[in-house]
Amino acid sequence: MRRRQQPPLPKRYGLDPARLRLPDEGDWTSLREHLIHRLPRVEPARIEEMLRSGEIVDLDGPLGLDSPYIPGGAVWFHRDLPEEQPVPFDIPIVYRDDTILVADKPHFLATIPRGSHILQTALVRLRRDLDLPDLVPAHRLDRATAGLVLFVIDPAHRGAYQMLFQRQQVRKEYEAVAGHHPGLDFPVALESRIIKEKHVLAAQEVPGPPNARTRVELIEQRDELARYRLYPATGRTHQLRLHMNSLGIPILGDDFYPEITDKRLDDYSRPLQLLAATLEFTDPRNGEIRRFDSSRSLQAWTDPHGWAAGPVTDH
């Protein structure tokens, strides 16, 4: 197995530098000329500034404005980061040892860097705050979903824990608050085919062999609302949100289903009432049964008047 080349730049804000391989063929006379061609979203003046200040390097060190283009080579640099609104919620640690870490992620915080969410993600904040540069998630939660995420600290065990989720060997239990439909009988087992197209915000259920399965139980009902326990047997994108919507009881606070609603990224009112409450699995290191439970609660159930009123502090 080929080992990943070690970057010649240290992490910044918990992030590895970008690596850019230079094509074997090309008629560029200088590295500057190639970078201007290769990075059209970066202003030429910014590329020149990075070269002057030694921010772009190869394995031999910093490169300059007059550095030649070397076919087949590689350069590293840290990308300029977008401006982000701080997500004003903490990330409690449920469990930590030398190998794994279980965090209780808040609503509105993405698990990993993507798009406009870079520094304000659980991974980057935990890497930085806990000085754990090799930390990686074994799985992911949607930005809108709160609850438990398993991270791996020791790179030597990364594959073993990630494989638990890929092989669906983790028992996951969620809680949700949604409307109460008196005509529905619970528990109910749902299965459908879910696809998520790139660059399309919402996933959709389509005809075809099922690839998503969920069991839904009614925990308790109060007036027009109910609290549900959800057991996903698979992990398709937005699976629980789609399956609850298919029952005619979309999860409270869902901005995608049944239809997409426009909401500012810094609007922290009325979060999606979905919580990854429990993770249970057999530890691949020693065969022990491990169970972790979230300490969070869903505000639409514990404080319905406060949830309906608007801005909240994450529970």
Report all structural domains of the chain as residue ranges with CATH numbers, in order of start: 18-77 (3.10.290), 93-309 (3.30.2350.10)
Please tell me the predicted confidence (pLDDT) of residue 1.
41
Q: What is the pTM of this model?
A: 0.86
Asked if pLDDT for residue 310 goes beyond 70, the answer is no
Both tokens of 245, joined, read 């919507």
Better-predicted residue by pLDDT, 83 or 191:
191
The stretch 167-189 carries a mean pLDDT of: 95
**Residues 198, 151: Cα–Cα separation, whole Å:** 26
Residues 87-111: tens digit of each pLDDT: 999 999 999 999 999 999 999 999 9
Task: Give the length of the chain.
Answer: 315
Better-predicted residue by pLDDT, 2 or 57:
57
Average pLDDT, the chain: 92
Asked if pLDDT for residue 2 goes beyond 50, the answer is no
Report the range of poorest mean pLDDT among 257-261, 266-270, 297-301: 266-270
Distances, alpha carbon 129 to alpha carbons 30, 121, 158, in Å:
39, 12, 20
The closest of 274, 181, 173 to 225, measured between CA atoms, is 181
Please tell me the predicted confidence (pLDDT) of residue 186.
95
The stretch 10-20 carries a mean pLDDT of: 87
**Residues 225, 176: Cα–Cα separation, whole Å:** 11
Question: Alpha helices, DSSP H only, in the chain?
Answer: 31-38, 44-52, 122-130, 158-166, 239-246, 299-302, 304-309
Asked if pLDDT for residue 228 goes beyond 90, the answer is yes
Asked if pLDDT for residue 257 goes beyond 90, the answer is yes
Please tell me the predicted confidence (pLDDT) of residue 162.
95
Asked if pLDDT for residue 3 goes beyond 60, the answer is no
